Amino acid sequence: MNSIEKSLAVMRALSAPGGPHRLADIADRTGLNRPSVHRVLQILVESNYARAVGDGFYTAGLAMRTLASADLGDGLAADVEPVLAELQRTTGHTVHFAVRAGDTAVYLSKVEGDKPYQMASRVGMQIMLHCTSIGKAILASLPQAEVDSILERTAELQRTAGRVADPTQLSADLEAIRQRGYSIDDEENELNVRCVGAAVRDSSGSVIGGISVSGLALMLSPENFDTLGPAVRAAAAEISRRAGYVAPEPVTA
């Protein structure tokens, strides 16, 4: 194999289920010798396409995951339009679908609500993770170390609706999201705007992005959260199913 073929083989091995993967297992899976695999991995780690985990273990890096999520999101965008349209019809609010792109998320679809106003959001717009409903739904699915790393890199941007983000409050918020299955942006990203969101998973079970309903605070009150939350969560589950995700069977006593 030439150098490009070797790199692609290693990247495919890194993306296989069951990671992180040992260097020896990657060598066996690709048919390459260990020194060759190690050289490729070092280049991938330096460019953030791979990440070293522990002693001799590797997994896909942020750059590779971002590319995969964006590609899957582009493919999903058209397929999920009926789900988004139905959610908009039943709630009356603007609906968004976004995928994670590194330390942010990017809107891939938007269905405008039937209210006498339009949201300022647009397809292609980047949103922060710590202060948006989609972003917080994504963060709630990540290991704490990765959340901390993202927040450290975006510290200078963590001003939400005129106030600095509180890490302690965010940590409690993420735990609440894990418990109920949906997230809330209560005028945190934009004054006078509230959103309810939920995460979308791919076939591996990884969260690639999320969906949300958004509206002006005077029309979307906190009393609406208990009704909108389950609806958004169900729509996100349907999109995840279309992306190939199979939810685990509930554990019975």
pLDDT given at position 146: 87
The verdict on residue 124 lying in a domain is yes
**In the chain, what percentage of residues exceed pLDDT 70?**
87
Six-digit token string for 22: 């040992």
Strand locations in 37-173, DSSP E? Answer: 50-52, 57-60, 94-101, 104-111, 126-128, 159-160, 163-164
Distance (Å, whole) CA 169 – CA 175 = 10
Residue range 167-175: mean pLDDT, rounded: 89
> Which residue among 18, 37, 60 closes a domain?
60
Q: Is the pLDDT of residue 127 over 80?
A: yes
Residues 100 and 196 in one domain: yes
Residue range 75-88: mean pLDDT, rounded: 84
Residues 137 and 82 in one domain: yes
Residue range 235-252: mean pLDDT, rounded: 83
Residues 73 and 51 in one domain: no
Band of residue 110 on the pLDDT scale cut at 50, 70, 90:
very high
SS3 content of the chain, % helix, strand, coil (to 5): 45, 20, 30
The verdict on residue 191 lying in a domain is yes
The verdict on residue 36 lying in a domain is yes
The verdict on residue 252 lying in a domain is no
Residues 35 and 95 in one domain: no
Residues 48 and 71 in one domain: no
pLDDT per residue as tens digits for the range 17-34? 667 888 999 999 899 999
Considering only CA atoms, give the Rg of the chain: 20
How many folded domains does the chain comprise?
2
The verdict on residue 22 lying in a domain is yes
Q: Is the pLDDT of residue 8 over 90?
A: no
Task: Kindly state the DSSP code that residue 251 receives in the 8-state scheme.
Answer: P
pLDDT given at position 16: 75
pLDDT given at position 68: 61
Which of 18, 21, 14, 8 is closest to 50 using CA atoms?
14
Q: Is the pLDDT of residue 253 over 60?
A: no
Band of residue 115 on the pLDDT scale cut at 50, 70, 90:
confident
Question: 245 and 202 in contact (C-beta within 8 Å)?
Answer: yes
> Which residue among 20, 37, 60 closes a domain?
60
Mean pLDDT of the chain: 86
pLDDT per residue as tens digits for the range 38-69? 999 998 888 778 888 877 888 877 667 666 65
Residue range 4-19: mean pLDDT, rounded: 83
The verdict on residue 167 lying in a domain is yes
pTM, two decimals, is 0.72
The verdict on residue 133 lying in a domain is yes
Residues 136 and 218 in one domain: yes
By CB neighbour count within 10 A (0-12 exposed, 13-18 middle, 19+ buried), where does 230 fall? middle
According to DSSP, the β-strands at 94-101 and 207-216 are antiparallel
By CB neighbour count within 10 A (0-12 exposed, 13-18 middle, 19+ buried), where does 3 fall? exposed
pLDDT given at position 251: 61
At 22, which CATH number? Answer: 1.10.10.10
Q: Is the pLDDT of residue 150 over 90?
A: no
pLDDT given at position 198: 98
Comparing 226 with 70, the larger pLDDT belongs to 226
Residues 148 and 175 in one domain: yes
pLDDT per residue as tens digits for the range 184-231? 999 999 989 999 999 999 878 888 899 999 999 999 999 999 999 999
Residues 100 and 163 in one domain: yes
Band of residue 116 on the pLDDT scale cut at 50, 70, 90:
confident
The verdict on residue 253 lying in a domain is no
Which of 130, 97, 111, 110 is closest to 208 using CA atoms?
97
